[in-house]
Amino acid sequence: MHVKIRILLVIFILLFLGLTARLAYWQVIRGADLSQKAQGQYDSSTVTSAPRGNILAPDGSFWVLRNNVWQITANPKLIKDSPEKIAERVSHFLVEKPDDVASVSAEVFRINSLLSKKNVSWVSIAQKVSDGIKKNIQAMGITGLDFIQQEGRFYPEASSAAQLLGFVGKDEAGENVGYFGIEGYYNLPLSGKPGFVAQEKDAKGIPILLGGSKQVTAINGVDLTVSVDKRIQIVAEKKLEEGIAKYGAIGGTVTIMNPHTGEILAMVGSPSFDPDKYQKYGNDYFRNPVISDSFEPGSTFKVVVMASGIDMGAITPETKCDICAGPLNVDGYQIKTWNNEYRDGSTMTDVLVHSDNVGMSFVGQKMGADGLYDYLQKFGFGSLTGIDLQGEAAPALRKRGTWSNVDLDTTTFGQGIAVTAIQMVRAVSVIANGGYLPTPHVVTKIQGDGWQEKIDPPAPIRIISQKAAEETAEMMVAAANIGEAKWTKIPGFTVAAKTGTAQIPVAGHYDPTNTNHSFIGFAPVKNPKFVMMVTLHSPTQSPWAAETAAPLWYSIARDLFPYMGVQPD
Amino acid sequence: MLRNKTNNTDKIKLNLKSSKVYVLGGICAILAVFSIFLTIEAATSGAEIAELQKKEAQLLTQRQDLQESLVESLSVNSLQEKSIQMGFTKVGNLVYVSSSVPVASLPNVNVGQ
């Protein structure tokens, strides 16, 4: 008996030792490895996205609103129905024109080929699908389809202000990035900063509260309030499109700015694009011509030169031109007036009213090349304006001290010098506001969660005297009232303005058939509420800006006056 | 008698010891039950939190969708279309009227009268 008990005891001891050894193996030798694997199962880390900021108009309505869109994906291995039947059911929701048989057929083919890939377990069917369409497709109950929420952008005013707003695309890593305009310039503050959550979760994905957790809160993107007024912008766009069609132009711009603060009230470029479908457009459409495209301004530039000459003391509005009796010969070139009419003894006001190129050459000669260069620099030409939009360009001025006589003379009437529309508007604002150079800007306020901050641009700097500004403004009033555009002015309203018809440089010479037309002005003259410049590229209906850009300017102004409370004199 | 007294003292000591053990045991049992209860509560709270997070996400999505609908209906383009449908037309040529409106003068108020 004792022997049997002892044998049993030995067996139990051996079993116990075996168990201990096995436990030691799993808990000690393999312990670290298994613990790591277990941690991989219950540890969960997620990047929490930061919602992109919105862009608001001055009245609090939205120019751009972030919204929820969906990516439709599929696992072809789980598709039970025929891929072609699924494609036929779904394709109508994913095309722009469901009535267009060709586009629907193409979509069916595309989706069918994606769903037929049985060797992959994930394909993307469509991106940025609206919530309504997603619900319709989801209601079909198609096995194998999945929906991933994405962040999108909603443009309540459709393609209005597209070039100014910019758009949100993807970078190389597939992350949202703003391109052009406000979305590009303010991409970082609009994007915010993603957060991070790491916590232990059970097999069902439920957080284990007693477990460890780490969290970095996401910082939401800020909202931006811009100065661009919706109604003014939409009116300007509508009128520009009408003007382009009426005058047979290939494009154009309208820029409207508050001359005192530099706030942009409207900025239009045509042709433009739809920011919701930016993929369908080429890069040329994304450029904002107001800030990116340079052109020779022609006679609109004369007002800047006049203001400079008066401030310098080289001329007064009453100074008489003693070379205006006929064409001017300079460096082997002949400078003529636009209509070959010459008035000996013209005053400077007459020179501006009749847009006399010879008279302007007289002003240039009185100022000298270096004097004119210095004033052009003061007016901001040759430099960026500093506007808070991505894509601004600043054509360089010819180097100081390298100007020939013909360079000087042609610059005085806006040829042989390249500017952008925003530079011109900024320069004329100096005349409108009594001599201060403003900084054009679009964003006026930044708002975050529970805080907001006003954006103040640099204070305007005085660059010409108030007297010089006022005298130039009066000359511009005379130009608007009795110049070649007088036929189109609005009765009862005093406007300071100037036309410009400029030849277009092509490969070292000027195109004999094409011209750019512009009209720039401000109103009311005493305390201007806006400066506006209209440009039309290569209009074909008339060779003169007085018959194209000028009436277009007044057509927009006619709507602006009551809206902005501008009363007749 | 002395033996009886000793026996009684021993019995009292034994009774005290037993009651201490019972009390201690009872406290341990309560603590154990409480501990188990809290662990279960923590586990189920995790599920509640996950559910609340899901609801929060749904509500945020709904809010976003409603905001989009509201913004779309209040857009300038949308209002323009509706105004045309309702028969509104754009104001044509504005006529500005200038007139001087007679205003009654304020009465003279003499203090103390």
Work out the end-to-end distance of chain B between its first and last CA atoms, rounded to an integer number of angstroms.
120
- Segment A280-284 shows an average pLDDT of 87
The answer to whether residue A403 sits within a structural domain is: yes
Give A234→chain B minimum CA distance, Å. Answer: 9
The answer to whether residue A14 sits within a structural domain is: no
User: Cβ contact (<8 Å) for A149 and B39?
Assistant: no
A210 and A320 part of one domain: no
User: Cβ contact (<8 Å) for A156 and B74?
Assistant: yes
Q: How far are the Cα atoms of A185, A239, A277 from residue A158, in angstroms, in the given order?
A: 21, 17, 10
Number of H helices, E strands in chain A: 19, 23
pLDDT tens, residue order, chain B (113 aa): 566 666 777 777 777 778 888 899 999 999 999 999 888 887 778 788 888 888 998 898 889 889 999 999 999 988 988 998 999 888 777 777 776 666 777 777 655 44
In this structure, what token pair is assigned to residue A547? 């018959």
Residues of A in contact with B49 (CB under 8 A): 207, 209
Examine the fold and report which residue of A193, A221, A249 is the final residue of a domain before the chain moves on.
A221
A53 and A149 part of one domain: yes
So what's the pLDDT on residue A349?
96
- ipTM of this complex > 0.95? no
In this structure, what token pair is assigned to residue A282? 């080429």
Q: How far apart are CA A171 and CA A191, in angstroms?
A: 13
The answer to whether residue B63 sits within a structural domain is: yes
- Segment A316-345 shows an average pLDDT of 91
CB pairs under 8 A between A and B: 58
Q: How far apart are CA A455 and CA A446, in angstroms?
A: 7
Q: How far apart are CA A23 and CA A291, in angstroms?
A: 75
The answer to whether residue B13 sits within a structural domain is: yes
Residues of B in contact with A230 (CB under 8 A): 76
- Segment A306-323 shows an average pLDDT of 96
The answer to whether residue B11 sits within a structural domain is: yes
A190 and A330 part of one domain: no
Question: Domain range spanning residue B11?
Answer: 2-85
Chain A residue with Cα closest to B69 = A156
Beta strands in A130-212 (DSSP E): 145-154, 167-170, 176-179, 195-200
A67 and A153 part of one domain: yes
Nearest to A134 by CA among A50, A73, A52, A65: A73
Q: A interface mutation test: which of B36, B48, B64 has the most A CBs within 10 A?
A: B64
The CATH number linked to A210 is: 3.90.1310.10
Examine the fold and report which residue of A181, A199, A221 is the final residue of a domain before the chain moves on.
A221
- Segment A143-156 shows an average pLDDT of 91
Cβ contacts of residue A112 below 8 Å, gap of 6+? A83, A84, A87
Element spanning A238, H or E = helix A230-247
A237 and A172 part of one domain: no
The answer to whether residue B70 sits within a structural domain is: yes
- The CB density around residue A133, as the number of other CB atoms within 10 Å, is 17
Contacts for A364-368: CB closer than 8 Å, 24+ residues apart: A364/A305, A364/A408, A364/A409, A364/A411, A364/A412, A365/A323, A365/A408, A365/A409, A366/A309, A366/A314, A366/A315, A366/A319, A367/A305, A367/A308, A367/A309, A367/A312, A367/A314, A368/A408
Q: What are phi and psi of A19, to 5 degrees?
A: -60, -45
The answer to whether residue A495 sits within a structural domain is: yes
Give A311's pLDDT tier (boundaries 50, 70, 90).
Answer: very high
The answer to whether residue B65 sits within a structural domain is: yes
Of A157, A209, A568, the CB nearest to B75: A157
Distance of CA A58 to the CA centre of its chain: 17
CB A537, CB A251: distance < 8 Å: yes
Please list the residues that pair with A505 across neighbouring strands.
A510
Residues of A in contact with B64 (CB under 8 A): 66-68
In the numeric block, the tokens 């069917």 are attached to: A125
Cβ contacts of residue A6 below 8 Å, gap of 6+? none
Query: pLDDT, tens digit, for every residue of A337-350?
Result: 988 889 999 999 99
- Strand, helix or coil for residue A566: coil
Give A1's pLDDT tier (boundaries 50, 70, 90).
Answer: low
So what's the pLDDT on residue A44?
75
Give B47→chain A minimum CA distance, Å. Answer: 5
A178 and A290 part of one domain: no
Give A527→chain B minimum CA distance, Å. Answer: 20
Chain B residue with Cα closest to A231 = B76
Give A182's pLDDT tier (boundaries 50, 70, 90).
Answer: very high
User: Cβ contact (<8 Å) for A234 and B45?
Assistant: no
User: Cβ contact (<8 Å) for A65 and B42?
Assistant: no
User: Cβ contact (<8 Å) for A209 and B49?
Assistant: yes
In the numeric block, the tokens 């100022």 are attached to: A367
Give B108→chain A minimum CA distance, Å. Answer: 35
Residues of B in contact with A206 (CB under 8 A): 46-47, 50
* Domain count for chain B: 1
Which has more confidence, A119 or A1? A119
Q: How far apart are CA A188 and CA A199, in angstroms?
A: 28
The answer to whether residue B46 sits within a structural domain is: yes
Cis previous bond, A98, omega within 30: no
Whether A503 has a pLDDT exceeding 90, the answer reads no
A399 and A498 part of one domain: yes
Cis previous bond, A271, omega within 30: yes
* DSSP notation for A449-500: TTEEEE--PPPPEE-S-HHHHHHHHHHHHHHHHHSTTGGGSPTT---EEEEE
In this structure, what token pair is assigned to residue A262? 């530099």
Examine the fold and report which residue of A162, A188, A221 is the final residue of a domain before the chain moves on.
A221
- Segment A399-420 shows an average pLDDT of 94
The answer to whether residue B103 sits within a structural domain is: no
Model pTM?
0.85
Cβ within 8 Å of A, B 19-78: 39, 42-43, 45-47, 49-50, 61, 64-65, 67-68, 71-72, 74-78
A128 and A265 part of one domain: no
Of B64, B77, B78, the CB nearest to A67: B64
A171 and A190 part of one domain: yes
Distance of CA A12 to the CA centre of its chain: 84
Element spanning B58, H or E = helix B2-73
So what's the pLDDT on residue A418?
95
Residues of B in contact with A213 (CB under 8 A): none
So what's the pLDDT on residue B6?
66
Give A72's pLDDT tier (boundaries 50, 70, 90).
Answer: very high
The CATH number linked to A439 is: 3.40.710.10
So what's the pLDDT on residue A364?
96
- Segment A208-217 shows an average pLDDT of 78
Nearest to A302 by CA among A260, A263, A350: A350
Of B39, B65, B74, the CB nearest to A131: B65
Least confident range of A6-10, A55-59, A214-218: A214-218
Work out the end-to-end distance of chain A between its first and last CA atoms, rounded to an integer number of angstroms.
131
The answer to whether residue A32 sits within a structural domain is: no
* Domain count for chain A: 2
The answer to whether residue B112 sits within a structural domain is: no
A273 and A240 part of one domain: yes
The answer to whether residue A164 sits within a structural domain is: yes
So what's the pLDDT on residue B5?
64
Of A156, A207, A562, the CB nearest to B71: A156
| CB of B99 less than 8 A from some CB of A | no
A264 and A214 part of one domain: no
Question: Domain range spanning residue A431?
Answer: 230-564
A190 and A313 part of one domain: no
Residues of B in contact with A207 (CB under 8 A): 46, 49-50
So what's the pLDDT on residue B113?
44
So what's the pLDDT on residue A378?
97
Under an 8 Å CB criterion, which residues of A touch B?
A: 61-62, 65-68, 131, 149, 154, 156-158, 160, 202, 205-210, 230-231, 234, 492, 562, 567-568
Residues of A in contact with B45 (CB under 8 A): 209
So what's the pLDDT on residue A41?
75
Chain A residue with Cα closest to B43 = A208
Chain A residue with Cα closest to B72 = A156
User: Cβ contact (<8 Å) for A156 and B75?
Assistant: yes
Chain A residue with Cα closest to B93 = A558
User: Cβ contact (<8 Å) for B46 and A206?
Assistant: yes
Q: How far are the Cα atoms of A413, B9, B27 from residue B23, in angstroms, in the given order?
A: 107, 21, 6
Give A288's pLDDT tier (boundaries 50, 70, 90).
Answer: very high
Q: How far apart are CA A432 and CA A529, in angstroms?
A: 9
So what's the pLDDT on residue A353?
95
Q: How far apart are CA A423 and CA A420, in angstroms?
A: 5
